[in-house]
Chain A
Amino acid sequence: AQTVTQSQPEMSVQEAETVTLSCTYDTSENNYYLFWYKQPPSRQMILVIRQEAYKQQNATENRFSVNFQKAAKSFSLKISDSQLGDTAMYFCAFMDTGRRALTFGSGTRLQVQP
């Protein structure tokens, strides 16, 4: 069974600064996907970024980028130029191509301070 670990329950960052959220996972699969989802106080889960395991290049989406280390089974999220609207719970998630269901970490609560 796959497991996803987020070791930082809470983090805080100043507006305009950069912050990195950590995620590690455990799997015996070779083909899979990794995701970061954001859940603001509205409770709506929003996809932030996605990474295919077969791609060596790290995914980027505007201010969001990942550091994907397949051998180390590590998938961290970097948020640059943090904004107040980035305040949310962030969940790392894993999906293997067979099961198609997401396995989530326990989440990191990020607070962006003005």
Chain B
Amino acid sequence: DVKVTQSSRYLVKRTGEKVFLECVQDMDHENMFWYRQDPGLGLRLIYFSYDVKMKEKGDIPEGYSVSREKKERFSLILESASTNQTSMYLCASSPRSTEAFFGQGTRLTVV
């Protein structure tokens, strides 16, 4: 079974803190994605990556950055957390053009 693991299920951070959300997949997938999920808005794409050290902006990249130093790991970084970044964050991976496999999500609260 494909496994996508997110480092935290729940996280509480203070405004202005630098926040790292980590994601690891164990199936050698080329593609990795970060989404945020908000009620009534579905999942929105923040950043994605097709290969090591490459990244592409998604639909809502403002306030976020990413890092992919190894194929299996894709990190989402909030440089200076703000309350409007309180959300559910979902990581996913996929092998080329096919369905994505998701982690269990990190519910981030910024206070």
Report the separation of the CA atoms of residues A95 and B98 in the bound assembly, to the nearest whole angstrom. Answer: 8
Q: Which of A65-73, A76-84, A104-112 contacts B (4 or more CB under 8 A)?
A: A104-112
Residues of B with Cβ closer than 8 Å to A? Answer: 31, 33, 35, 40-45, 48, 50, 58, 88, 90, 92, 94, 96-102, 104-105
Apart from A33-B99, A45-B102, list 8 A-B contacts with CB within 8 A: A33-B98, A44-B104, A45-B92, A47-B101, A91-B43, A100-B96, A102-B43, A104-B42
A43's partner among B40, B98, B104 (CB-CB below 8 A) is: B104
Q: A100-B94, A101-B58 in contact; A43/B43 too (CB < 8 A)?
A: no
CB pair A100–B42 under 8 Å, yes or no, is no
Q: Lowest 7 A-B CB distances belong to which pairs?
A: A45-B102, A104-B42, A104-B43, A106-B42, A43-B105, A97-B97, A101-B48
Most buried by A among B40, B43, B92, B105: B43
Report the separation of the CA atoms of residues A43 and B8 in the bound assembly, to the nearest whole angstrom. Answer: 13
Q: A43-B105, A102-B45, A106-B42 in contact; A35/B94 too (CB < 8 A)?
A: no
Secondary structure of the A contact surface, majority rule:
loop
- Chain A residues whose CB sits within 8 angstroms of the CB of B48 once the complex forms: 100-101
CB pair B99–A50 under 8 Å, yes or no, is yes
7 A–B contacts, CB within 8 A, in A order? A47-B101, A100-B50, A101-B48, A102-B33, A104-B43, A106-B42, A107-B42
Residue A42 at the chain B interface, CB threshold 8 Å:
yes
Residue A20 at the chain B interface, CB threshold 8 Å:
no
